[in-house]
Structures are given as C-alpha cells and as structure tokens.
Amino acid sequence: MFYLQRLLAFGVRSASILIWSKIGENGTKQMEIVNCYRKPMPITQKPLPKKIIGFKYIHILYIDHNVIAFLHHFRPLFASFPINLIFETNNDRLILGFILHNIWPMLGKNMYSMALPDSFFECLRQVVPSTLNDCPSLRFLFFNCSSCGLFVEFPADDSAMASDRQAVAKWLFTPHPNKVPKMFKCYLDTDGSNLIDLALRFAGKNYSGRHSDFFAFASASSPVKFIVTICFISSFDDSDVPFDQTNELIREQLVLKRIVYSNRFLLIRCPIARDESKWTKWEEEAIGWQICNQWNQIGIYIYDKNKIGDGLLDATPSPSDQQQK
C-alpha cells in the first residue's frame, strides 16, 4: 500500500487510512492517522488533485476536531465516488446523535451500500424520513445489530408518520436508476416454519396471511427488481422451498430458494423471461457481498463515548432535537 500522500501525488488507487486514539507524552488522548502499516501520517492541507480515482478504506475508531477537519478536507472525494459505509456502535443515543449530526452530512447522498444498526436508521428517519430514497445510488442495504431484522411492512411509505419497516419497503420497491436489482439482507431470530409466509411479506400489500399475499403479488401492476437474502439464526423448516409464483400482467416472478448448505434463502423478484447470465451474476453478488471487501469503504467503529474527544458529545443535539429544527 502507498501512503495517502502518494495517492494524492500519483493518482493511484491503493491507500488505506486508520484513525484511532493514542496517549500522548502528557497523558492526554490524541488523534492519530496511520496507514495500513500503522505508520503515522500528517493531515494534508493541500487541495485534492484531479488525478484521484478512488480509495481503499478509511476506518474511524476515534473522533475529535482534527478528525472532523480531516473528513471535511476529503469531502469532495466522498462526493465523487460511490461510498460503501459500515457503522458499528453500542447503540448509545449520544453516539448515534453525534454521527448523525457531524459525519452523516459529509457522506449521505452518494451511498452505494450501507451496513447500519437499525437504531441509527431510526435516528436518521427522525431527521430525514425519506433518507433511503434520498440516496439514489443506494443498491445494497443491510441492518446489523438487529433483533427483528427490520423486515418490510406495507403499505410502502417513507413519510414522517410511516414506520421504519414501511420506509425500507418504499426503498426496496423504488426501481434503481440503473435498472439493476436492489439487494437487501436481513437476519431473523425467529422460527422459520412459516418461511413462505415471511417471504410473501415482500408481495406488496399489507401482510394478512399466505393466501392473501399470493393474490397480492398476482395482482401487482408495477414491475420491480430485487434480491433479498434472508438469514435465519434459529431453526427453520424449508419443506415448502423452493417455490415460485408468476404475474402474467407484468411478466414477473417471485422465487424463493435456499442457498445450498446454509441457513440462508434468496427471495428474488425478476422478469419471467430473464437474462440468466446477468441474474446468475447478481444472485452470486447478493450471496457473497461483503462491504468490508469493497473499495471506497468508510468504516465507523465507535463503541464507547470516550472515543469521541474534545467535548464534542456535549455540544451535539439529540436526534429528537435535530428533528425539531
């Protein structure tokens, strides 16, 4: 890997940055930026050259005024490339509010994939209810640290009065501008004996039992493409799988199948006459997608309020306060 300075000087695409804290000579906590070899790097003040074509990753384990300044300096970079965001925390409301107020505005609308705590998504929607559809490039969505998997709920709606699950459904059922299938991954800690019933929640109407949702998909009038990966972390019954249903009006099919030798299932909504080579590739992408392996990756790993320095937490409004503004 090259230093960030070389990334800026030569336009190469191989720079990795880690931001963490260290104890200084006087015993105080300080921010340090290092490259992938853990060698300290200064914060450059030079303007970003036009030769930059991307970056590998920026991982943030500590935040103070210098980190905020660093991110502001590279904000044009975040606006130029599709961002893959990982955010992990202990769900402390002060930390969530801080990230929402100070970091999210620098990253927001150019997301390609996101792995978030559902608690942070809840905070986001308190401020911007339509936050998912405000990221037009967003194609892959995964909620971590979730006990419910944040399954979808209908009617699809991302207004302020709608639930978070309705907002996910609104995003999933809004076609991607590049006409590729959106991908959603959820973990379910539930008995999978009613797997078909669970899958049919993606049919497009209020969930009220298997038979009504069979007809809901059969009567759907708007085409949409998506691949949902359903992962069970408890027992399940796949005796009804695979299954598929077709809608002749819009020439689409809803297919549920198990990924071989795993506790994961794919729910696919696609054209009946589909391009098999493309869809096979997309299904493999959905199964194997790992944000941590992607370029242009930003990882925020803040599990402790002590990892936010300079008294920044004290000056941060809560998500509810930001909503009132």
Please, what is the end-to-end C-alpha distance for the chain in angstroms? 44
**pLDDT given at position 279:** 98
Q: What is the pLDDT, as a whole number, of residue 182?
A: 97
Residues of the chain with pLDDT under 70: 1-46, 48-49, 144-150, 189-216, 218, 233-240, 316-325
The 3-state DSSP class for residue 251 equals coil
Give Cα 170 to chain centroid, integer Å.
Answer: 15
CA 259/CA 215 separation, integer angstroms: 26
Within 10 Å of residue 45's Cβ, how many Cβ atoms?
A: 7
Angle at CA 111, nearest 5°, toward 107 and 112? 155
Could you say which DSSP state residue 22 is in? E
So what's the pLDDT on residue 154?
78
Q: How far apart are CA 17 and CA 40, in angstroms?
A: 10
- C-alpha angle 93-185-57 in degrees, rounded to nearest 5: 70
Predicted confidence at residue 17, as pLDDT, reads: 56
Sign of the Cα pseudo-torsion (324, 92, 99, 64, in order): positive
Of 102, 116, 2, 99, give the one whose Cα is nearest residue 56: 2
Q: How far apart are CA 228 and CA 187, in angstroms?
A: 11
Report yes or no: 107 and 75 within 8 Å, Cβ to Cβ.
Answer: no
pLDDT (0 to 100) of residue 321: 60
Q: What are phi and psi of 64, to 5 degrees?
A: -145, -170
| Owner of token pair 């909504």 | 269
Tell me the pTM. Answer: 0.81
pLDDT at position 277, please?
A: 97
Residue that has been written with the tokens 């200064």 in this structure: 42
What is the tens place of the pLDDT at every residue in 259-304?
887 788 898 999 999 999 999 999 999 999 988 889 899 999 998 8
Q: Is 294 left (phi over 0), alpha (psi -120 to 50) or beta?
A: beta
Residue entry with tokens 């105080």: 28
The residues pairing with 59 across neighbouring beta strands, listed in sequence order, are 18, 299
